[in-house]
Structure 1
Amino acid sequence: MGKAQVLSRAKDFIYNNARLLDRKRYEYHLEGGSNVEVVDVLKAYQNQDGGFGNALEPDIRCPQSQPVPTELALTIMEEVGYFNPYIIKGIAKYLQKITLKDGGIPFVFKSASLYPHAPWWKSEEECRPSINPTGKILGYLYKQKVYTDCYQEEWFLKNEQFIWDYLDNGNPTGYHDGIQLITFLENIPDTNKADKYWPFVDDWLSRTGTIERNPLAEGYVHKVLDWCPVSTSYSRKFIPDVEINNHIQVLIEQQQEDGGWPINWPALSIGTELEWRGWITVERLRTLKSYGII
């Protein structure tokens, strides 16, 4: 299939099925669209408490703010290179409220269970800190420079210490933990301190099984291009060019007849599957663009 056909079919899928947010992400990445327009749509998912909910993470359908959708909002702003100061100040207000007494942010709150949700988005306790999403949240708060007053606030310092303690004593259990640590270490201002921990991360990434190397592996696995979605990804140094090219070829072949890419986990509903596929399809196009395929 030609490169132009891959893009044309994906574009049709996005405009037929994707959320406005993902249509705007597509326009930004592939058609010279506005990053301000992306973030203007993102604002609609923010609550009065400053956090994000309202199914920004499609498998968490509750309107109330949750930690992971708030992390996702930061991820989107970083992706398009525009951190809105109003949104960031709201996020800081929310994080101050939900940071645990000894540092760390919970994975999910019980309010998620009051609405439709994927089975993994439930919690019997709300007082256990989680590296996911604490690591990326602090990493991207450090990356943005529109609101830096929070860096010396107690809640922020507690969360930072939680991450250092995790690096000293923890053991990442998979992709979702790993990208939290990488994002934090890539953006922490104290690069000398970060340098102490990169060997630990590198050793873990190099172990058999951390990065799924089989491009045809099925099920909920995270393959080479999940770890290296763009050519500048940190994990890229662990993957030879020939392996990248093999995964790219399989990725192109996995584009479905309707032009979108599939998800590799059980869908909560028809609607959430389309929402996720819209997100994933933009992600796949970003990857193909970064590696010079489209």
Structure 2
Amino acid sequence: MTWVNDSMLERAGRYLWTSGRVLEQRRYAFHFGAGPAAEGPAGLLAALDAYATADGGYAFGLEPDVRGPAPQPIAVPAALRVLREAGALHGERARRICDWLTAHSTADGGVPAVLPTLRPYPHPPFLPVPDDPGADLLATGQIAAPLLHAGIDHPWVTAAADFCRHAVEQLEQTHPYEAGAAVTFLAAAPDRDWAHRQARRLGELVREQRIVLLDPDHPEQARTAPGYAPGEHHLPHDYAPTPDSPARHWFTDAELHRGLAHLAAQQQDDGGWPIRWARWSPTIETQARPGVTLAALLTLRAYDRADDRAAGQRI
């Protein structure tokens, strides 16, 4: 089955050209050959630089739930995503990010999601700002993974990988975003035998704790994690956004297909996809939907390409 068709792309493009930030418009053009695609990665990097701070961090709403000029660790995954797409993870921007992370790491090598510097600026109620925040897997796993995958040689990466390894081994009761960060780290962890063992254990936790919605027609079968919005569920593709994710093996073909079909059907009349978490300010939906829309398109296209490869191998 083909998930992304011309009509879906045309409607999504119209939405992104109408409502997307410059960054999402540049990413759409880069990935789907629309508009100034001939510029290659230069446009992506120029758009990303608008969110950079002088000390090597990222702020100004790059992560839509974190506002203001104070850079925060939770914004770094979005920056690394763009650098990876642009093929620029080995450049100066990534080195500056690692240096900034080093300055804001805890003694155990990880980073918290947010720093006390966020307190004066708008942020959602589900993202508390403690005075002395500890490192967490949710932020550190998402940041360390692309750097490890790219083979970045920096002391912060080594320390963060050790932190994530210990945190993953200690995981018991978890929640969808933490489990998603864990499997993201496991996809890049250098010790592949260990990563495969931990991925199997994590998949069992996710299913046992019912923090994945396996049948969108029966949302009552999944548990909504504490602090999440009503109906804020993760589906199989949220854990496995590409077919080569370690989480792909957690789910049957039927379970994955139901989730992808639900994702495709979620495209709205204006061409964009909705957000599923709490709408804590009047503008958060406007700011976040373009990124959610791109994520949906990229996930659906990744599974299309996997099906195409499988079909080619059968010929």
TM-score by length of 1: 0.88
* Residue 87 (structure 1) shift: 0.8
* Residue 37 (structure 1) shift: 2.2
8 A contact 2:115–2:133 mirrored in 1: no
Partner residue of 2:133 out of 111, 127, 151: 127
Larger displacement relative to structure 2 (26-35 or 134-143)? 26-35
Separation in structure 2 between the aligned mates of residue 124 and residue 208 of structure 1, nearest angstrom = 28
8 A contact 2:180–2:238 mirrored in 1: no
Partner residue of 1:225 out of 214, 223, 237: 237
**Residue of structure 2 equivalent to 1:264:** 276
CA RMSD of superposed structures (Å): 2.5
SS at 1:105 equivalent? coil
* Residue 67 (structure 1) shift: 0.6
* Residue 206 (structure 1) shift: 4.0
8 A contact 1:131–1:163 mirrored in 2: yes
Separation in structure 1 between the aligned mates of residue 137 and residue 232 of structure 2, nearest angstrom = 20
Separation in structure 2 between the aligned mates of residue 234 and residue 80 of structure 1, nearest angstrom = 24
> Aligned AA for 1:56?
L
* Residue 240 (structure 1) shift: 2.2
Separation in structure 1 between the aligned mates of residue 96 and residue 15 of structure 2, nearest angstrom = 34
Separation in structure 2 between the aligned mates of residue 165 and residue 123 of structure 1, nearest angstrom = 24
Q: Greater relative contact order (Cα 8 A, min sep 6): structure 1 or 2? A: 1
**Residue of structure 2 equivalent to 1:103:** 109
**Residue of structure 2 equivalent to 1:245:** 257
**Residue of structure 2 equivalent to 1:278:** 290
> Aligned AA for 1:227?
Y
Q: What are the equivalent positions in structure 2 for 1:154-233 lying under 5 Å apart? A: 155-171=156-172, 173-195=174-196, 197-207=198-208, 209-216=210-217, 217=219, 219-233=231-245
**Residue of structure 1 equivalent to 2:94:** 88
* Residue 71 (structure 1) shift: 2.4
8 A contact 1:78–1:140 mirrored in 2: yes
Number of residues paired by the alignment?
289
* Residue 223 (structure 1) shift: 1.1
**Residue of structure 2 equivalent to 1:38:** 44
Separation in structure 1 between the aligned mates of residue 300 and residue 108 of structure 2, nearest angstrom = 42
> Aligned AA for 1:194?
A
Q: What are the equivalent positions in structure 2 for 1:40-119 lying under 5 Å apart? A: 40-83=46-89, 85-119=91-125
Query: For each residue in 1:195-245, what CA deviation from the matched residue of structure 2 results, as whole angstroms up to 9, or x when unmatched?
Result: 553443243244351322122436211112212222333212222222332
> Aligned AA for 1:95?
L
Separation in structure 1 between the aligned mates of residue 299 and residue 168 of structure 2, nearest angstrom = 29
> Aligned AA for 2:281?
S
8 A contact 1:175–1:222 mirrored in 2: yes
Q: What are the equivalent positions in structure 2 for 1:135-146 lying under 5 Å apart? A: 135-145=141-151
SS at 1:230 equivalent? coil
8 A contact 2:89–2:147 mirrored in 1: no
What are structure 1's unaligned runs of at least 5 residues? none
8 A contact 2:241–2:299 mirrored in 1: yes
Separation in structure 2 between the aligned mates of residue 127 and residue 228 of structure 1, nearest angstrom = 29
Structure 1 residue ranges (4+ consecutive) displaced by more than 6 angstroms after TM superposition: none
Partner residue of 1:19 out of 14, 21, 26: 21
Query: For each residue in 1:170-218, what CA deviation from the matched residue of structure 2 results, as whole angstroms up to 9, or x when unmatched?
Result: 3251222122222222222233443553443243244351322122436
SS at 2:283 equivalent? helix
8 A contact 1:110–1:122 mirrored in 2: no
What are structure 2's unaligned runs of at least 5 residues? 220-229, 309-315
* Residue 73 (structure 1) shift: 1.2
> Aligned AA for 1:173?
T
TM-score by length of 2: 0.82
Separation in structure 2 between the aligned mates of residue 162 and residue 22 of structure 1, nearest angstrom = 32
Change (3 A) 1:236 1:73: same
Separation in structure 1 between the aligned mates of residue 193 and residue 246 of structure 2, nearest angstrom = 17
